[in-house]
Structure 1
Amino acid sequence: MAHTEELQALTKAFSGHGIDEKSLISILGKWEPEERKTFRKGNPHLFTEDERQFEKWNDHQVRLLKHEFVRFKNAVVLWAMHPWERDARLAKEALKKGPQAYGVLVEIGCTRSSEVLLGARRAYHSLFDQSIEEDVASHVHGPERKLLVALLSAYRYEGSKLKDDAAKSDAKKLSIAIKNGHNKAIIEDDEVIRILSTRSKPHIHAVYKHYKEISGNNLDEDLEDLRFKETVQCLCAPQTYFSKVLDAALRLDVDKNGKKALTRVIVTRADIDMKEIKVEYNELYGVSLSQKIEDTANGNYKDFLLTLIARGG
């Protein structure tokens, strides 16, 4: 009969993020029929008892496991891609999935440099024979369309110079727009969209500071609209934003779309600011990101993620 330790190890191999291929080979590969039957009976979330007296795979679990088996492959493919192609394909996938994935468009529009964002737009032309702007405009039908098109069309100034008076003026405009939100939805306010989509990141940081001086609250705390909240966080505190996305993706009850964020964030940030994200994650959640991945992910997928986050110290 199968040992309790082996049963537990194999159950874990099928659970979490990715599949522990080594355990499947070393344990499942050597089990006799009766041992495999014990495993099936001991995992009712994976197998159901058929009326004809045999244990059959739960179809839903089989579909989920297919995603888990390809998670490592997808991570490797994304990592090997040119960053421009990667962002173009991530944007296309987000548009296909619909509103629940539009945060990815905000990430791309707000956390990439102007040159990388321009490169992603070029790659989108090449891959899909249309511009990312026109694709967003044709797929997004809600009020967030105008903001998303503006963010993805941006080519922000990336120097350090800024005019503090202009930042104070923008902060006042944002404060007034938020206070008048009951009269005009902020998502439809062209002036707010202009500020967030065209101003340099140092300027937006200064606006953020002045806004708190004016209102007593942080700008993202006062913004109720999800897309605007994500936009401000990506522009002003990307390491905090990405830490929160990673934590949500590492929860045991996260759905398959939520799990994809783990691969996306680690692959896209490994060469950019992963060191800072790791520090922020530890401060927010009291555990290292590497330990959380060690506890949650499995197999080659886990090893690859740990290799990526170790880059740069």
Structure 2
Amino acid sequence: MAAVGRRGTVSEFAGFDPQEDAAKLRKAMKGFGTDEDAIIDVLAKRTIAQRQRIKQDFKTAFGKDLISDLKSEISGKLEQVILGMLKTSVLYDVHELKNAIKGAGTDEGCIIEILASRDNREIQQIVTTYKKEFGKSLEDDICGDTSNMFQRVLVSLATGNRDEGNHVDDQQAKKDAQTLYDAGEKKWGTDEVAFLGILCIRNRHHLKRVFEEYKKISKKDIEGSIKGEMSGSFEDALLAIVKNMNNQPAYFAERLYKSMKGAGTDDDALIRIMVTRCEIDMLDIKVEFQRMYGKSLHSFIKGDCSGDYRKILLQLCGGE
């Protein structure tokens, strides 16, 4: 699912010195009060790999755990952002999935976002790490918390077994498009399994051709048909797959926009996307955000977010 030439806003810090950074963080937390700006200035400008080295050197130099020290000094949404940044990518996804599943109510959007946007290697690492962390398989937790076709599409995505090649079979693309049309628009009732068999298996390049052929047959795009034929979380999952296959940065731009528009902010989604995409494709997401909504992501965050975590989100976003 990886795109060619993806660009992040956070890259390796030139002249990186983990011992010096560890000392800066210790100084920011010593004495009366906490220098949050100093903490943000260090961590928001370092990559995930560099942050792991800072954690190690902090423990070596001071005999204390950096995460424990930070928890005692900061709180709220700023704590959520910073502790997320100090996890590896896989561990962050694993804990986001667990939080989305456990407790009262399920954050279906979070589960869909992660499973529909990660590549096979990432999914397989998530599955392995999830079992190590919680002693229970991700599939078991999904099955215990979801049902029907929504459950089935999540289980399918969680196999991490999509074709990730580049081959496009024109004849097969036409057949796949016809199969989708026959399974949805053409018939009374919808054959949801047919959608799974194509959308969860075929590679991105092939699917884009399928979507082109589908539009020729049905006179509407695949997203419109899914919205007309499906409902609920199953519809959301299929739409997420289609959007990730078509244009992944645009998918995340839409997720960010929806997390901030209207009454209240979906802080969890906003923070998760900013933390997970800043090293990968945040520059591309910003371009898509501007194109789709006529306003920069930076200005949207500045106008919508308040409190101590706005500054670090703006850092992860980069400039205007």
The one of 303, 308, 313 aligned to 1:300 = 308
Deviations 1:34-93 (A, max 9, x none): xxxxxxxxxxxxxxxxxxxxxxxxxxxxxxxxxx95111111111111111111111112
- After superposition, the Cα gap between the structure-2 partners of 1:179 and 1:98, relative to the gap in structure 1 and judged at 3 Å, is farther
Which structure has the bigger radius of gyration? 1
C-alpha contact 1:106 1:151 (8 A) present in aligned 2? no
Aligned mates of 2:150, 2:216 — CA distance in 1: 28
Corresponding residue number in structure 1 for 2:291: 283
Displaced runs of 4 or more, over 4 A: 97-100
Corresponding residue number in structure 1 for 2:281: 273
C-alpha contact 1:154 1:198 (8 A) present in aligned 2? no
Does structure 1 residue 198 correspond to structure 2 residue 204?
Answer: no
Aligned mates of 1:248, 1:98 — CA distance in 2: 23
Q: How does 1:231-250 map to 2 (within 5 A)?
A: 231-250=241-260
CA RMSD of aligned residues (A): 2.4
Which stretches in structure 1 are left out of the alignment for 5+ residues?
1-20, 23-67
Letter aligned with residue 115 of structure 2:
G
The alpha-carbon deviation at position 299 of structure 1 amounts to 4.1
The alpha-carbon deviation at position 164 of structure 1 amounts to 1.9
- After superposition, the Cα gap between the structure-2 partners of 1:135 and 1:205, relative to the gap in structure 1 and judged at 3 Å, is same
The one of 112, 129, 141 aligned to 2:135 = 129
Aligned mates of 1:222, 1:252 — CA distance in 2: 26
Which stretches in structure 2 are left out of the alignment for 5+ residues?
1-35, 38-73
Deviation larger for 267-276 or 246-255 = 246-255
Letter aligned with residue 252 of structure 2:
F
Letter aligned with residue 224 of structure 2:
E
% identity of equivalent residues = 26
C-alpha contact 2:93 2:114 (8 A) present in aligned 1? yes
Does structure 1 residue 216 correspond to structure 2 residue 219?
Answer: yes
C-alpha contact 1:154 1:197 (8 A) present in aligned 2? no
Aligned mates of 2:110, 2:185 — CA distance in 1: 28
TM-score in terms of structure 2 length: 0.70
TM-score in terms of structure 1 length: 0.71
C-alpha contact 1:107 1:234 (8 A) present in aligned 2? no
Aligned mates of 1:299, 1:274 — CA distance in 2: 22
C-alpha contact 2:250 2:288 (8 A) present in aligned 1? yes
C-alpha contact 2:90 2:122 (8 A) present in aligned 1? yes
SS of aligned partner of 1:223: helix
C-alpha contact 2:116 2:240 (8 A) present in aligned 1? no
The alpha-carbon deviation at position 268 of structure 1 amounts to 1.2
SS of aligned partner of 1:272: coil
Aligned mates of 1:310, 1:229 — CA distance in 2: 29
